[in-house]
Amino acid sequence: MNEPIYLDYAATTPVDPLVAEAMAGCLTRDGCFANPASAHRPGREARRRVEAARFAVAELLGAEPREMVFTSGATESNNLAIAGAARFHRRRGGHLITSRTEHKAVIDVFRRLEADGFEVSWLTPAESGIVDPAQVAEAIRDDTVLISLMHVNNETGVIQDIAAIAEITRAQGVLLHVDAAQSVGKLPIRLQEWPVDLLSLSAHKFYGPKGVGALFLRRRPRARVEAMMLGGGHERGLRSGTLATHQIVGMGEAARLAIRDMGADRERILALRGKLEARLLAMPGVRLNGDPERRVAGTVNLGFDGVHGEALVAALDPYLAVSSGSACTSASAEPSYVLRALGRSDAQAESSLRLSLGRFTTEAEVDRAADCIEQAVSRLRALSPRSLGDSEPTPLSG
């Protein structure tokens, strides 16, 4: 059987071949494998490559290289930024702000901080998924020390107006953290223009390797956090541990490719998404979840009335790799908390499917995917809940 068509780029992206090539040069004895903290010549060469990657990642974000701290990914960066900043500034106040549609790597940190005595205000976005900057301004108090809002939602692809929100937080003297895992490499980010204090990213969301990410910490005005991982004092004492040269080099190469190809990628992917949406939204009982305009190019979240999302994913599994929501919550039987926060009922949330396209998606794959989804939805709607539970999925034509 042929491999299924991959339409789950929001969960992870394949490593670009040029990224893999750069990484391979840092693994074996005849490559640059040395510890970048070592003082000898091989160590200095490894360090040079790490710093070149740091420069590339900073350039992608419009930041300074010394403002980038390498981590194991956006989850660690979120933990370091949110818990680290909240604890460092505890004497200034114990009030924090976030939204109900954040990634679990943000929400769970805030839940832990609540248990530790911090007070959290949970903002509810509009039905479109957008948090109005006025909501943020109204929620700020004299004891607010940190606000965390994602740039692009991982389930709906909705884009928040981070620039406007950052102007508000800077004027109020409140730190702003942004989870940008879903936007880096897809949208222009200009940290020299946006007064964002902390920003998290992960390489595997933009064609780099898994297991490496970064945290931006602004130097002026200085964003300060309490270290979460102690040891050898690596990364200016903020993230101890031997640097994974091959992964960091891969992230740097992915950043360079994003700088070069972001615009062309976006236009091509947007056209493919438009074609896919036009086919699926023409079906009866199909609705779009999230704002129709303010979305990243590659992501579409659709609800299919009368169909359970997990059943649809299972029916499509031999043909398409898709998801019913975030990969980080796929083990949960609960309906998407993101869609419920947008006002969707449990049944509506459970009937939704996330499709995400990327750099290697082709027009032929989009056409085939639309055919498969149309057939699967029609077949599942024809089945009663009982027969659906008792039946094996029948093959789709083609």
Query: What share of the chain has pLDDT > 70, as a percent?
Result: 93
pLDDT of residue 325: 67
Which residue reads 């950043």 in tokens? 255
Q: How far is residue 105's CA from residue 147's CA, in Å, rounded to a whole number?
A: 15
Least confident of 113-117, 144-148, 228-232, 280-284: 228-232
CA 157 – CA 180 distance, rounded (Å): 12
**Looking at residue 394, what is its pLDDT?**
43
| 72-86, 88-102, 332-346: least confident range | 332-346
Helix orientation angle between 245-281 and 363-381, rounded to the nearest 10 degrees:
60
Q: pLDDT, tens digit, for every residue of 154-185?
A: 999 999 999 999 999 999 999 999 999 999 99
The answer to whether the CB of 183 falls within 8 A of the CB of 158 is no
CA separation for the pair 33, 243 (Å, rounded) = 11
Single-letter amino acid code for the residue at 64: E
Q: In whole angstroms, what is the distance from residue 76 CA to residue 291 CA?
A: 29
What pLDDT, on the 0 to 100 scale, is given for residue 385?
Answer: 56
Q: What is the pLDDT of residue 379?
A: 95
CA 77 – CA 291 distance, rounded (Å)? 27
Mean pLDDT, range 230-247, rounded to an integer: 87
Q: Is the pLDDT score of 77 beyond 70?
A: yes
Compute the residue count for the chain.
Answer: 398
Domains along the sequence of the chain with CATH: 5-12+262-390 (3.90.1150.10), 17-257 (3.40.640.10)
pLDDT given at position 390: 39
Mean pLDDT of 221-248: 88
Q: How many helices (H) and strands (E) does the chain have?
A: 12, 12
Q: What is the pLDDT of residue 397?
A: 47
**Contact at 8 Å (CB) between 58 and 50?**
no
Residue 1 has pLDDT above 60, yes or no: no
Question: Would you say residue 256 has pLDDT above 90?
Answer: yes
Question: Taking the model in full, what pTM does it have?
Answer: 0.93
Q: What is the pLDDT of residues 359-374, one digit of tens each?
A: 999 999 999 999 999 9
* pLDDT above 70 (res 135): yes
Catalytic machinery residues = 328
